[in-house]
Amino acid sequence: MILSDKAILKEMEKGDIVIEPFSRSALGSNSYDVHLAKHLAIYEDDILDARKHNKVKHFEIPEEGYILQPGTLYLGVTLEYTETHKHIPFLEGKSSTGRLGIDIHATAGKGDVGFCNTWTLEISCVHPVRIYAGMSIGQLIYFEVEGEVGTNYATKASAKYTERTERPVESMMWKNKF
């Protein structure tokens, strides 16, 4: 079951959902709009290797915006820091963003119970498009969990994205054993 706007507010009052900064105008009937922070990153190498730590180059979106180019994976980050202690958060693109040909995640739209951080975005585009820091980039939808959670994300031994950050975080696949 997806939480309604009133249910999201009630869970925020209880501290089970945290959104910082929070703006009532970003709360939809069953979602919360998240915004693009000023930080972007691109991988330094043309060929990425799943077994190695692929380094990224960080930069900021200038006031006049930044033009995304097709064929490049950009890592962005939400302006909002979130905590989800009893629900499953899903990050989805907004239709307005999609209609500009922008995808905000390749595969990682589902968060875990216990995820506490900003959201790194896996941004790609179909056409060159100018983006701006602070623009609405996606929406969080919260689902109820059936049953008791045994291990939340923040306490999982294999959790790799727990350090609070304001910048996008590159893939930590290299920490897996395979």
102 backbone dihedrals φ, ψ, rounded to 5°: -100, 125
- Cβ distance 30 to 2 under 8 Å? yes
The angle formed by the CA atoms of residues 137, 140 and 146, to the nearest 5 degrees, is: 160
| Cβ contacts of 86 within 8 Å, gap of 6 or more | 11, 16, 113, 145, 149
Q: Is 13 a catalytic residue?
A: no
* Catalytic annotation, pick one of 83, 122, 148, 170: 122
Catalytic residue list: 122
